[in-house]
Chain A
Amino acid sequence: TQLLEQSPQFLSIQEGENLTVYCNSSSVFSSLQWYRQEPGEGPVLLVTVVTGGEVKKLKRLTFQFGDARKDSSLHITAAQPGDTGLYLCAVHFSGNTPLVFGKGTRLSVIA
């Protein structure tokens, strides 16, 4: 069974703080995607990482793909209330299999 764990499950922080959320797998995967889901909407893609050790930046968001291709982190600098939402990681393990989603980290940024 290919497991995907996200931590923490819930996170509530003040505006301006930094935070990191994690996505870990029991198996190596070929690519990983991070999505954000706002209340009342479907998930929206933030980034795709495919190379071990890869780091991608999207404004205040920094995404890292572990060297062993079994984990990833998302770091947000100076969080803002607009960052509030459910952050989902999704991995593609191999072949023609669909994405596997984690349970997500529910982030709340308080002004």
Chain B
Amino acid sequence: ETGVTQTPRHLVMGMTNKKSLKCEQHLGHNAMYWYKQSAKKPLELMFVYNFKEQTENNSVPSRFSPECPNSSHLFLHLHTLQPEDSALYLCASSQAGGGETQYFGPGTRLLVL
């Protein structure tokens, strides 16, 4: 138990569906992250939020839309995804947005059909 929870743990969706991934951290951290982890690729940083403000967007397609209503919650809204978007989506948090230790959730395994 790392203090970071993610729901759902598994998700299967069609290319025309809209779904949302949820992340919650109970560590009092100020920064939250979304990563994509695919086979044969390193962890890909998608978005960073620091004190609820988005500070990084690594050229992520607009079919992925993040939302950070407060420092404890982070969402990733998904729509019109492609099969190549199938991956493990990991959420993490850290005290601030620099090089501090990141605490990861268990991830959401997403399959796009």
Contact = CB atoms under 8 A, between A and B. Distances in A.
B104 A42 contact: yes
Given A30-B99, A31-B99, A98-B97, A40 B106 contact: yes
A108 interface: no
Interface of A: 4, 30-31, 33, 40-45, 48, 88, 90-93, 95-99, 101-104
A42 B23 CA distance: 13
Contacts of B92: 42
A30 B48 CA distance: 20
A90 B35 CA distance: 14
B101 A41 contact: no
B105 interface: yes
Interface of B: 2, 4, 33, 41-43, 45, 48, 56, 90, 92, 96-99, 101-107
Interface of A is mostly: loop
Contact of B107 (A42, A44, A91, A97): A42
25 contacts: A4-B42, A31-B99, A40-B106, A41-B107, A42-B4, A42-B90, A42-B92, A42-B107, A43-B90, A44-B2, A45-B102, A45-B103, A48-B101, A90-B102, A91-B99, A93-B99, A95-B98, A96-B97, A97-B98, A97-B99, A98-B99, A99-B99, A101-B45, A102-B42, A104-B42
Contacts of A41: 106-107
Contacts of A101: 42-43, 45
Given A98-B45, A101-B42, A44 B104 contact: yes
Contact of B98 (A43, A48, A91, A96): A96
Contacts, number: 54
A92 B45 CA distance: 14
